[in-house]
Chain A
Amino acid sequence: MSTATRHKLEMLRTLPSDAARQIQWSFADRYELQMLVQSVRAVARGPVARLVAQGGRNTHEWTPAKAEMLEAFDQSGITAVFMDPEQGGFIAGPRNLALALVAFELAWVDGGAATASLAGCLALAPIHERGTPEQQDRYMKLAAPPQPGEDRKPWRGAFCLTEPIPYVGVDTGMLDGKIRIVEWKPGEEPILQVEKRGRFITNIGFANFVTAAVDSGDDRIKGSCMVILEEGDPGIFDRGTATKKMVHQLSSTGDPIFNLRVPASRIVGGYDIKDGVLVPRYSHSEVIEAVFRRTRVTVGVMTAAKLLSAVEPVIRYQRGRFRGAATATPGSVRYEMGLQAREDALHRLVDVWATGEASASLAFAAARAFDELDPLEREADRIIAERGVSGTRAKAKFLRQVSDEAASLLRLMPGDPRREKLQSDTLMRFVTLDSLADILCPAAKLWNTGWGAQMMREAVSLMGGYGITEDCPGFLGNKWMDAQLEATYEGPEAVQRRQLSVTMTNPVFLAQLRNWIREMRGIASERPGTGACTLATAMTMWLWTLERLQHSTDSDGGKLYQSARQGVTFPLADALCWLLAARCQILDVLELDRRGAQDSSVAEGLSGLVNFLTDLCHVQTARAGGEAARICAELVFGYNRHPAWDEEGYRGCYQQDELDALEGFVPGIAACATDVIAGDGSHPSKAGPCAKCNGAEQFLTLHSKLATCLTGSRLAKDRAAEAVSKLMIPEVLDYPA
């Protein structure tokens, strides 16, 4: 079915419903998550929105009004999401998607509220991921909200990493904080002295415990670790001053000072004694790796939510922009359509919406991947232990062998019976999904927050000066500013790019990416309006570029794709993010199209909704393809030295008299030649002879193909814009502003 025909059939009628989103983001079968969404939404658009509207963000300090927000979190089940049912929670199994949905709903109104919720989970995450059973039991139960009949206050936690003061969000590998043994009686547990200064520590204004990263300051302790500090421990537990941050003011942030005596059993994950030395079972970086690779996804979700939350207020503003003016009378275009009579206003809103869809799809895909990965990882660990493989290096070597086999199998053609092992073998499934999670998490964090911040600015600009006032509906100005912090939380953009530059060369991932190209072509043949073909070409170009850069040098002979060459690796990571997000967006729309008819509340407007979302996919893939092409072209050609008007450059040029002579044999050749040296030695007025594309012909073919793949993408944008101008929105926003 052509896109033009689809358009004539039905257009978008209302904003996407909850039921449609549940199908798109794959939780239509999970009522516990649907209830969670409603519960969190009631808090977000109720007490949180009122707090923001009443100026709750206008102070850095932790206030009683902000504290009430935490009580609302407890009462509505938000706090308990992180806990297992036996610890006071209500959702069994992995909860990455659940936490992502919490972040989405809270950030729809205020990023700081989402951060306040997530920071509590972040404090518990080291204990959840690597803590001893005793630690898990104690702190999860203490942090669980009280059950009916219980009279206690739940403990709140803070996560304290911090690089050398005064900087924030610089490098997670450089720790500030020392741990020493101050007492170690024979046969007894060592007593530790922990000195730690924190900077920009979320939740510190009210935290009862802190999970802090520290380095050894004692020959009798090996390496680094994370340690749990409690408010009542002997020594100094100083919450410090409130950080004067300009964003996320609903979360408590401060610069604490700790100097506390704690038993060694507070080391997260426990310790062993080897030759008189206390050896933590997990270094701080091992704990952090396990924690951040999950929790970063939720940060990416936050910016996605904000972009999608901007759509309704912007539409309402655009439509009502001129009402009240003497010249805008009812029935006139200015009165009825307002700014939506202007193509640019609609097109820019379509861009914001398309980015929001893509980023939400990417982040939720990442969250679902971790939900699938969590049990698989435990099962893989069990199998590896059963096979007698122990130690970090031995395990890595073992998994490398499994990965090699998985990559080989993934390279086989679809339908090859040998591929069946990829599904039936737990270790194969693990390394395949693990390689994907290693990409999706940093990509969601990096692209959603980084590009999301740019697009949030665009959303604010669509509201004119109103956008940066406190009374802008939807708090768009706040959301734009907040996005900058989200880009920094849990590892700034450079950290995500660094991780991607390593993980995106994993052969298991690359084999999957090749399969995705085939997958996208298949989708394109069935659904040409999605832009899947464009994406397939862009993915092919990205792969070609990666392989080229991995085996090329610059004009000075320097290796291009290497750890220190971040000018090469980082932009290529950026390009990949665009492609990943666009793919996830397409897959989500296809899922909605496939399953939407089963739900009568979605079925009625399904065709119009799918048509619109498909057009957004087309818009987004065109943008993603363009960004990838720009980056790849820069990297492929940018490290070649441009020919100059020197002796070497002249060798590649025609001499004027030589050309005159050739004209007799090849009429018209003079008109085609661009680099011609005149008889007096003068040359055309430009930087030098045109650069050649030796060895990059295939790239140029792809580049050219990608350009023509954009055919129809602007028509899709026009259709989407028209739909935006006609869809029905509620009378008012469902939260105060």
Chain B
Amino acid sequence: MSNGYHIVVCGSVVPDPLQTLEPIETPAGPALKNEMLLPAVLDPWAAHALYEAANLAAHAAGSKVWLVSLGARAKLRQVMMTIAQKVSFELVPIDGPASGFIDAHATAALLAEAIQSITGLDRSRLLLFGGWESASRGAGVTMQLIGERLGILDQFQGVDQLTMQPDGAFEILERIEGGRHQVSLCQGPPALFGWATGNLPEPRNNPQIGMANMRAIMPALQRAKTVAPAPDALRYRSASPPKQQRQTRIVKNLSAEEIAREIVAWIEKA
């Protein structure tokens, strides 16, 4: 494609998965304990989408990547110190709540609005990327909702691979049951891709890319519009972490097969 793609990646920040994530009740509804104080990372599903976007852009001259991100400005800023060093993109930040308890419809509306306001975005060349799931709490519908709001009809979810064809079409591998992929062909943009893990490793930090990105990211963060989700859009009756059970037994004389058999038996019993 001669003019390249306009790739918009939707992705926000989530607490570092190594942290203790403890739901608590607040006057505003459920939240994670100390969430603002915990270190954050770019949602791993969205991060895969971003790396795939950058890779695609690198192979299609004239392409450009935007990262549209809804989150607390201070958190976005911290996360950018890492992400901005990995690939080239322009940040479109929206200063607002990004916890896993925010209604996917409200989030999708805010993101779609932000995408529509991107200056110079050519909708006929638009590829909308995002995570198929989210590490904060997988509603699994946000990307579809954004696509609907933007009128993008070609939508693919659980994408692991996107291959450009000589005629400008895409071959897409989507995850289906049984560890298999469904192969689809898409004529080209506009299209939406909810990424699974993709195939690319996490790019190494490159401070030169970081310095170039940050010249635009810092002013963008300062200009970020502050938003609030629609009140009473969603109510939770309760929130609790998945139950964990730990039983440790030290064995020295069992083979791997015997240990595996014992674990399977334990799971079946549980």
Q: Residues of A at under 8 Å CB distance from B?
A: 13-14, 17-19, 31-32, 34-39, 42, 75-77, 80, 90, 147, 324, 599-602, 604-605, 728-732, 734
Give every chain A residue within 8 A of B208 (Cβ-Cβ).
77, 90, 147
| Total A-B Cβ pairs within 8 A | 97
The answer to whether B205 touches A730 (Cβ under 8 A) is no
Give every chain A residue within 8 A of B72 (Cβ-Cβ).
600-601
Listed by A's residue number, 8 A-B pairs whose Cβ atoms lie within 8 Å are A19-B78, A34-B78, A37-B81, A39-B207, A42-B82, A75-B204, A600-B36, A730-B18
Give every chain A residue within 8 A of B78 (Cβ-Cβ).
17-19, 34, 601
Give every chain A residue within 8 A of B248 (Cβ-Cβ).
324
What is the bound-complex CA distance between A76 and B248, given in angstroms? Answer: 40
What is the bound-complex CA distance between A38 and B19, given in angstroms? Answer: 18
The answer to whether A39 touches B205 (Cβ under 8 A) is yes
What is the bound-complex CA distance between A729 and B18, given in angstroms? Answer: 9
**Bitwise interface map of B from 67 to 83 toward A, beta carbon under 8 Å scored 1, else 0:** 00000111100100110
Decide if B210 is an interface residue (CB 8 Å cutoff).
Answer: yes
In the complex formed, the residue of A with least CB distance to B217 is A31
CB distance from B212 to the nearest CB of A (A): 10
Say which residue of B37, B39, B74, B218 sits within 8 Å of A13 (CB atoms). Answer: B37
Say which residue of B34, B81, B218 sits within 8 Å of A38 (CB atoms). Answer: B81
What is the bound-complex CA distance between A688 and B217, given in angstroms? Answer: 76
Give every chain B residue within 8 A of A17 (Cβ-Cβ).
37-39, 78
Decide if B103 is an interface residue (CB 8 Å cutoff).
Answer: no
Give every chain A residue within 8 A of B75 (Cβ-Cβ).
601
Decide if B84 is an interface residue (CB 8 Å cutoff).
Answer: yes
Give every chain B residue within 8 A of A734 (Cβ-Cβ).
16, 18
CB distance from A619 to the nearest CB of B (A): 23
Decide if B165 is an interface residue (CB 8 Å cutoff).
Answer: no
Decide if B211 is an interface residue (CB 8 Å cutoff).
Answer: yes
Give every chain A residue within 8 A of B34 (Cβ-Cβ).
13-14, 604-605, 728
In the complex formed, the residue of B with least CB distance to A77 is B207
Decide if B144 is an interface residue (CB 8 Å cutoff).
Answer: no
Count contacts on B: residues with CB < 8 A to the other chain: 30
The answer to whether A76 touches B18 (Cβ under 8 A) is no
The answer to whether B36 touches A38 (Cβ under 8 A) is no
CB distance from A18 to the nearest CB of B (A): 6
What is the bound-complex CA distance between A602 and B199, given in angstroms? Answer: 36
What is the bound-complex CA distance between A88 and B74, given in angstroms? Answer: 31
The answer to whether A80 touches B207 (Cβ under 8 A) is yes
Give every chain B residue within 8 A of A76 (Cβ-Cβ).
204-205, 207
What is the bound-complex CA distance between A605 and B210, given in angstroms? Answer: 29
What is the bound-complex CA distance between A36 and B206, given in angstroms? Answer: 10
The answer to whether A730 touches B36 (Cβ under 8 A) is no
The answer to whether A31 touches B218 (Cβ under 8 A) is yes
Say which residue of A13, A77, A731 sits within 8 Å of B205 (CB atoms). Answer: A77
The answer to whether A731 touches B206 (Cβ under 8 A) is no
Give every chain A residue within 8 A of B187 (Cβ-Cβ).
none
Give every chain B residue within 8 A of A730 (Cβ-Cβ).
16, 18-20
Decide if B214 is an interface residue (CB 8 Å cutoff).
Answer: yes
CB distance from A68 to the nearest CB of B (A): 13
In the complex formed, the residue of A with least CB distance to B18 is A730
In the complex formed, the residue of A with least CB distance to B79 is A38
Decide if B85 is an interface residue (CB 8 Å cutoff).
Answer: yes
Give every chain B residue within 8 A of A39 (Cβ-Cβ).
82, 85, 205, 207, 210
Closest 3 CB pairs of A and B: A77-B207, A601-B74, A39-B205
Say which residue of A35, A147, A601 sits within 8 Å of B210 (CB atoms). Answer: A35
Q: Knowing that A90-B210, A729-B20 touch, tell me 4 more A-B residue pairs with CB under 8 angstroms.
A: A17-B38, A76-B204, A76-B207, A147-B208
In the complex formed, the residue of A with least CB distance to B17 is A731
The answer to whether A731 touches B18 (Cβ under 8 A) is yes
Q: Residues of B at under 8 Å CB distance from A?
A: 16, 18-20, 22, 33-34, 36-39, 72-75, 78, 81-82, 84-85, 204-208, 210-211, 214, 218, 248
CB distance from B90 to the nearest CB of A (A): 16
In the complex formed, the residue of B with least CB distance to A20 is B37
Q: In the complex, which of the residues A35, A36, A602, A728 has the most CB atoms of chain B within 10 Å of its own CB atom?
A: A35
The answer to whether A35 touches B214 (Cβ under 8 A) is yes
The answer to whether B204 touches A731 (Cβ under 8 A) is no
CB distance from A75 to the nearest CB of B (A): 5
Say which residue of A34, A324, A729 sits within 8 Å of B81 (CB atoms). Answer: A34
The answer to whether B206 touches A604 (Cβ under 8 A) is no
Give every chain A residue within 8 A of B38 (Cβ-Cβ).
14, 17
The answer to whether B204 touches A728 (Cβ under 8 A) is no
The answer to whether A38 touches B205 (Cβ under 8 A) is yes
CB distance from B205 to the nearest CB of A (A): 4
The answer to whether B207 touches A35 (Cβ under 8 A) is yes
Give every chain A residue within 8 A of B16 (Cβ-Cβ).
730, 734
Give every chain B residue within 8 A of A77 (Cβ-Cβ).
85, 205-208
In the complex formed, the residue of A with least CB distance to B214 is A31
Q: In the complex, which of the residues A31, A147, A729 has the most CB atoms of chain B within 10 Å of its own CB atom?
A: A31
Give every chain B residue within 8 A of A38 (Cβ-Cβ).
81-82, 85, 205
The answer to whether B82 touches A32 (Cβ under 8 A) is no
The answer to whether B18 touches A599 (Cβ under 8 A) is no
Say which residue of B37, B85, B205 sits within 8 Å of A601 (CB atoms). Answer: B37
Give every chain B residue within 8 A of A732 (Cβ-Cβ).
18
CB distance from B71 to the nearest CB of A (A): 10
CB distance from A36 to the nearest CB of B (A): 7
Give every chain B residue within 8 A of A599 (Cβ-Cβ).
74
Given contacts A31-B214, A731-B19, A734-B18, contact A602 B74 (CB under 8 A): yes
CB distance from A161 to the nearest CB of B (A): 31
What is the bound-complex CA distance between A248 and B243, given in angstroms? Answer: 43
What is the bound-complex CA distance between A155 and B75, given in angstroms? Answer: 38
CB distance from A292 to the nearest CB of B (A): 27
Give every chain A residue within 8 A of B36 (Cβ-Cβ).
600-601, 604-605
Give every chain A residue within 8 A of B20 (Cβ-Cβ).
728-731
What is the bound-complex CA distance between A600 and B73, given in angstroms? Answer: 8
What is the bound-complex CA distance between A338 and B226, given in angstroms? Answer: 44
What is the bound-complex CA distance between A75 and B85, given in angstroms? Answer: 11
Give every chain A residue within 8 A of B33 (Cβ-Cβ).
728
In the complex formed, the residue of B with least CB distance to A727 is B34
In the complex formed, the residue of B with least CB distance to A729 is B20
In the complex formed, the residue of B with least CB distance to A600 is B74
Given contacts A38-B85, A601-B74, contact A14 B37 (CB under 8 A): yes
Say which residue of A35, A147, A728 sits within 8 Å of B85 (CB atoms). Answer: A35
CB distance from A33 to the nearest CB of B (A): 9
In the complex formed, the residue of B with least CB distance to A37 is B81
In the complex formed, the residue of B with least CB distance to A732 is B18
What is the bound-complex CA distance between A39 and B38, given in angstroms? Answer: 19
Q: In the complex, which of the residues A14, A32, A599, A601 has the most CB atoms of chain B within 10 Å of its own CB atom?
A: A601
CB distance from A612 to the nearest CB of B (A): 13
Give every chain A residue within 8 A of B211 (Cβ-Cβ).
32, 35, 90
Give every chain A residue within 8 A of B207 (Cβ-Cβ).
32, 35-36, 39, 76-77, 80, 90
CB distance from A105 to the nearest CB of B (A): 12
What is the bound-complex CA distance between A18 and B16, given in angstroms? Answer: 13
Give every chain A residue within 8 A of B39 (Cβ-Cβ).
17-18
In the complex formed, the residue of A with least CB distance to B248 is A324
In the complex formed, the residue of A with least CB distance to B83 is A38
In the complex formed, the residue of A with least CB distance to B212 is A90
What is the bound-complex CA distance between A600 and B13, given in angstroms? Answer: 15
What is the bound-complex CA distance between A600 and B39, given in angstroms? Answer: 13
What is the bound-complex CA distance between A14 and B38, given in angstroms? Answer: 7
What is the bound-complex CA distance between A197 and B255, given in angstroms? Answer: 56
In the complex formed, the residue of B with least CB distance to A598 is B74
CB distance from A146 to the nearest CB of B (A): 12
Give every chain B residue within 8 A of A18 (Cβ-Cβ).
39, 78, 81
CB distance from A335 to the nearest CB of B (A): 12
CB distance from A684 to the nearest CB of B (A): 62
What is the bound-complex CA distance between A32 and B38, given in angstroms? Answer: 22
Give every chain B residue within 8 A of A13 (Cβ-Cβ).
34, 37
Q: In the complex, which of the residues B18, B37, B207 has the most CB atoms of chain A within 10 Å of its own CB atom?
A: B37
What is the bound-complex CA distance between A730 and B40, given in angstroms? Answer: 12
What is the bound-complex CA distance between A435 and B52, given in angstroms? Answer: 54
What is the bound-complex CA distance between A600 and B22, given in angstroms? Answer: 20
